[in-house]
Each structure stands twice: as structure tokens, then as C-alpha cells.
Amino acid sequence: MADDGFSGSRDRLLAACDEMDGRLEAVGGDGALAEAIHSSRKLGKKLRGGLMIAGAGKPLLRQVGLIGTLMGPTRDAQVRRETWRSLRRGEVEEGSIEWLIGALVEHQAGLASVTPAPEVVGWSRGAVGEVRQWLARQDGEAFEEACREGSSRLLRSLRKRLKRAVEKVDDADFHAARRSTKFWLGGMKILNPGQVREVAEVIEDLGEVLGEEHDLDVFGAWLLDNGFSPATAPRVWKRLPKLQSRARRRSLSLIRKEALPLLKRLSRAAPQQ
């Protein structure tokens, strides 16, 4: 078979494991904590996507997913801060509800900026080691064939989720599309970056907009959990749905006009299994 880009995919996934281990080591070090956690979580999602494409079992996928969850509180607090800054309009009056929300957001971000326990970092590095062991047991050619089949399967799933999202326009479908986008593109960027080069920019843009929608939804839930209801913080709740609606319109436009046509062409061009 002519090289379709999957040759050497196992070695590239092993290299990603080495990079992941280095980033986890940095999380436990003395450097910039928020950036170290963010970069390790991003690479973890790409690694998990690559494993999904390669056909790894669910126990291994769950372990890699748990790494991101364990590192989550610090990053979640940072995202909440960024989301609040996009909601806040100009300077806020001291003593106002908006001032109180901002103070609480900053306080929680500070509390969350704590280096994970050494046991968490150690367990996470051990989980990456198990991925390495699994990869070492795989036959190279069989692994590449599994990746070809898996990439086609995840691409079909992604297109199906995006179509469902624009047809149903349901929050749950957009959430599922966001996750599928991250796993498919992230995994392919490790296993076969050349195959997705022409679609990467659009799919990354879509992932960003879907992520913005998700962050706004999560922030709305945080507001309610902390007692900031529409009656308590009316100005915030007046602006929040506007930003949500704007993000949803951008998502729908990107899916309909760019993502689905590009992915359809990619699906036709990919080798048939």
C-alpha cells in the first residue's frame, strides 16, 4: 500500500507520550503552574483522541481522561475568570453585584492555583507509562491499519454529530460535537497530520466557538450555584444570553458553511476501507 500518512503512526503516538510525561513533570515543578496544567490537558485530549482512533480499550481511555479531570480545578478557575472578563462591561462600581462576582471569581482562581499533590502527578505519569506499554505491544502494520479504520470511523461520527447539531439545535448535541471535534482533530494531528492539514484551521475555529458556548453555559451554572440568580444579578443575566446566542449563531454558520463541506470532501478523498 502506498504511504497514506499513517506510516510511523505508532512512533508518533509514543513520542506524544514522552511529551506528555515531560509536561506532567513540569506540573509538579516550580514553573508557571496554570500554563503547565493547560498544556498537559490539551495534549492529553490529543493523546486520548489518538488512542480512540487506534482502537485502544476503554480502561486505557478512561485513565487518560482522568488525568485531565485531576488537573481540572485550576484550569476551570482560569476559564471562569476569562469568561467573566468577556461578560463584564468596563469598570464596575465597588460594592455592586458585578464587583462581588468579580471578587469571588478572582478569589476562587487564587485558591485553585495550587500545585497538584505529588501522588496525582505520579499516578498520571504512571498512566502515561501504561499507554507506552500498550503501544509497545502493538504490531506496527496492524496498528497502522487500525488507525486507518479508526480515523474513518471517527470522521463519520463527527460528521453525524455536526449534522445532528444543526438539525436539532440542542445544547447536548453541541456539547457532543465539541468533544468529537477535539478528539478527532487532536488524534489525527498526532497520527496523520498531513491528512487534516487543509481542514485543521476551520475545525480548530469551530472547536474554539463551541468551547466558548460551553464556557458560557458553565458560567451560568456557576452563577446560580453561588446565589447570583437573574433577580440578584439582572445586568449579568441580560448580557449572558446575548453572548450565548452570538456564539451559537457563529457555531451554526461555521458548521453549515465550512466544516461539513470540508469534512465531506475529506471523507471522499480518504482511502475506503
What is the per-residue pLDDT for 90?
A: 78
- pLDDT above 60 (res 154): yes
Closest CA to 64 of 153, 10, 125, 150: 125
Q: What is the pTM of this model?
A: 0.89
- Which residues, other chains included, contact 266 with Cβ-Cβ below 8 Å and sequence gap of 6+? 155, 195, 196, 198, 199
What is the per-residue pLDDT for 114?
A: 82
Mean pLDDT, range 73-97, rounded to an integer: 89
What is the per-residue pLDDT for 85?
A: 92
Distance CA 23, CA 21 (A): 5
- pLDDT above 70 (res 3): no
233-271, pLDDT tens digit by residue? 999 999 999 999 999 999 999 999 999 999 999 988 765
Distance CA 204, CA 86 (A): 20
**C-alpha angle 38/178/4, rounded to 5°?**
90
What is the per-residue pLDDT for 24?
A: 92
What is the per-residue pLDDT for 113?
A: 81
CATH superfamily of 9-269: CHAD domain (1.40.20.10)
Angle between helices 72-87 and 234-254 (to 10 degrees): 100
Q: Where are the domains of the chain?
A: 9-269
Q: At 56, is the secondary structure helix, strand, or coil?
A: coil
Distance CA 26, CA 29 (A): 5
Distance CA 108, CA 80 (A): 9
Rg of the chain in Å (alpha carbons): 20
- pLDDT above 80 (res 64): yes
Proportion of the chain above pLDDT 90, given as a percent: 79
| Greatest CA separation for the chain | 69
14-48, pLDDT tens digit by residue? 999 999 999 999 886 655 777 888 899 999 999 99
Proportion of the chain above pLDDT 70, given as a percent: 96
What is the per-residue pLDDT for 28?
A: 67
Q: Where are the beta strands (DSSP E) in 114-238?
A: none
